[in-house]
Structure 1
Amino acid sequence: MKIISLVPSITEALFDFGLTDQEVIGRTKFCIHPKKLVKNVEVIGGTKNLNISKIKSLKPDLIIANKEENDKVQVEELMNDFKVWVTDIETLEYNKNFLNQLGTLLNKENIAESFNQKITSVFNLKKASESKKVAYLIWKNPYMTVGSDTFIHEIIESLGFENLFKDQNRYPEISIDQMKEAEIIFLSTEPFPFQQKHIEEFQKELPHQKIILVDGEAFSWYGTHLAKCSDYFQTLISENL
C-alpha cells in the first residue's frame, strides 16, 4: 500500500509501525521524524497548502489527513480522486482508537497494542495532589492559548496540571493580564517557536509567574509520539508540581 501522510505526527506513526519509504511515498515539509527515513520521501507542500498536482502524480492508494491540521477544501478535492482517511484526534481515547485503526489497516495490531500500552503507562506517572494553574501559549502577537476541546488541553490535564483557559474553546486570544491568574506559563516551541529569550521577556511582565519553555511536540503530536515522552513528562511534573 502506497500512503501519503498530510500530518507530521501521522508520518512518524507510519514509520513507527514499520513502514518503509517505499510505502510512505509523500509527506509535508513539516514531517521531520524519523529524520533518516523522511528525507527520502517526496514533499507535497505544507499541511495547509498542499501541492495537489504533485499528490495526484504520486497516485497513492491512501491519503491520511486530519480535520484540524489540513485545509478542508483541499482535502475534499483529493477525495474526488483518492481514498482519504480524515482523522480527528482530540483526546487520548481518540488517539488509542486511531492507533488501533491504523494497526488494523496495516495488519500490525500487535504494534498498535504495544504503543497504546506504553502511552497508558506514560500517563500513570505520579502527580501532585493539588493541580497548578497553567497558561499554555502557542502564539505571540497576538498571544494565543488552548481551550478545553483541544488535544493539548487533554495532555495538560492528564499530566495533573489545570488549564487556566479550560472554560474556552479552540485557540483563544488572551492578554498578559489574563495570564496573571496562572501559576505557571508554558511557552510552547511550536507552532510559534518560543525560545529562551522569550522567557526573559515574559518574566518582566509576569514577575510572579513561573515561565517555562516546553516541548511543543510532546504536547501536540498524537499517534505514537507520546510513547516516547515518559522521561520528559516525568521531569516536567517533578519540577513543577
Structure 2
Amino acid sequence: MKTLTDQLGNRLSFENTPKRIVSLVPSQTELLYDLGLEAEIVGITKFCVHPFHLKSTKAIVGGTKQVKKEKIAALQPDIIIANKEENTAEMVVELREICPVWVTDIVTIDDSLQMISDFGQLFNRRTEAQKWVDKINFARTDFYQFIAPFPEQKAAYFIWKNPYMAASENTFINEMLRLNKFRNIYEGNPKTPGRYPEIIIQKIRIQGDPDVVFLPSEPYPFKDEDAFEIGRFTHHAKTVFVDGEMFSWYGSRLVKAFAYFKALHQRMAEPVS
C-alpha cells in the first residue's frame, strides 16, 4: 500500500502504482508524457495540445471546467490528475466517485518542482522526475545570471478581453513576471483586488502606468487591433505579444520557458525600426 499527499493536503492510498491516468490539465499532460507515461494516459482534455498527437490517440473527456463524467468512468482510470485553478472543486468532488483524484496547486516554480517529484513517486518514475527537476534548477540558476543586469520594469499582463482581465497576485503568471524582473502593476493594488481582476483600460495609467503591456496567445488570442486599443490609453508602454504557454504552463515546460524568456528580453531590447 502506497499513501501519498497531494498539494491540497489530501492523502491518497494505492495498492498498486496507478496504470490508467486521466489528466485534466494541459501542462500536466505534457509532464506525464515527458516522464515516459504516454502508455498510461487514457484520457485528456481538448486543451491538452502538447504533444499534439495525443489528441488523436487518447480519449477526449471534455474541457478543464466541464467534463463528461460518464466518459471518464468508462475509461476505468486508476487516478485522475486535476489542478486547483484549472478545474472546479465541484468537478473534483464528483470525479472522486470514480477513483482517487490527485489535485495540484501551483503558484511558484518550487510548487512545480514539488509536483514533478510527487509524480515521480506516484507513478514510479523517480529517476525521470529527478532529471527534470535537475534540468529546471540548472536552467533557473542560469537564467538568474542572465537577468541580473536587466533593470526592473513595470508591467501589465492581460489574459482576457470583453471584459479586459489581467493576471495579478498569487498566480503562476505573476511568478513568471517576477522572475523576469517585471513588477506587476496590479499586484497588491487595492483598486484591482483579486487574482484575475477586471480592468478598465481607460484607467491603466492611473492604476500603475506600466512600461510594458503583455498580450499573450492564450487563453485569449490577442490581436493587433487589441494592442492598438490598449495603446490609446497608455503613456509610453511598449505592447509585446508573447507565447501565453511560456508564462502559464508549468512542469517540464519550464525548461523551454527559460530559453524563451532569454529570447524575449533580447527581442525587447532591440531598437524599434
Structures share fold, TM-score greater than 0.5: yes
Query: How many residues were matched structurally?
Result: 240
Contact 1:179 1:185 in 2 (8 A): no
Which segments of 5 or more consecutive residues in structure 2 lack a partner in the other structure? Answer: 1-18
- Report whether the alignment pairs 1:40 with 2:57: yes
Q: Distance in 2 between matches of 1:139 and 1:150?
A: 15
For the 8 Å contact 2:216–2:242, the answer to whether it is kept is yes
Q: What is aligned with 2:200?
A: 175
Q: Could you tell me how far apart the structure 1 residues matched to 2:55 and 2:34 are? A: 12
Structure 1: unaligned runs, 5 residues or longer: none
The residue that corresponds to 1:162 in the other structure is: 183
In 1: Cα distance, 2:225 partner to 2:128 partner: 41
CA-CA distance at 1:32 after TM superposition: 0.5
Instruction: Name 2:26's counterpart in structure 1.
Output: 8
Q: Tell me, yes or no, if structure 1 residue 73 matches structure 2 residue 90.
A: yes
Q: Counterparts in 2 of 1:1-241, with a 5 A limit?
A: 1-20=19-38, 22-124=39-141, 125=143, 126-127=146-147, 128-167=149-188, 168-180=193-205, 181-206=209-234, 208-240=236-268
Structure with higher Rg: it is 2
TM-score, with structure 1 as normaliser:
0.94
Q: Distance in 2 between matches of 1:121 and 1:163?
A: 26
Q: 1:120 to 1:159 in 2, by over 3 A?
A: farther
Tell me the distance in 1 between the aligned counterparts of 2:139 and 2:261: 8
Give the 3-state SS of the residue equivalent to 2:165 in structure 1.
Answer: coil
Once residues 164 and 7 of structure 1 are traced to their aligned partners in structure 2, the CA distance between those partners, rounded to angstroms, is 28
- Asked if 2 retains the 8 angstrom alpha-carbon contact of 1:137 and 1:144, the reply is yes
Structure 1 distance, partners of 2:224, 2:136, is: 29
- Distance in 1, matches of 2:35 and 2:125, equals 7
User: Residues of 2 paired with 1:207 and 1:159: CA distance?
Assistant: 22
RMSD between aligned residues: 1.6
SS in 2 for 1:138: strand
- Structure 1 Cα separation of the partners of residues 171 and 198 of structure 2: 15
230-239 vs 158-167, which moves further: 230-239
1:169 Cα offset (Å): 3.0
Q: Aligned partners of 1:178, 1:223: CA distance in 2, in Å?
A: 35
User: Secondary structure at the residue paired with 2:22?
Assistant: strand
Rounded Cα–Cα distance in structure 2 between residues aligned with 1:122 and 1:173 = 34
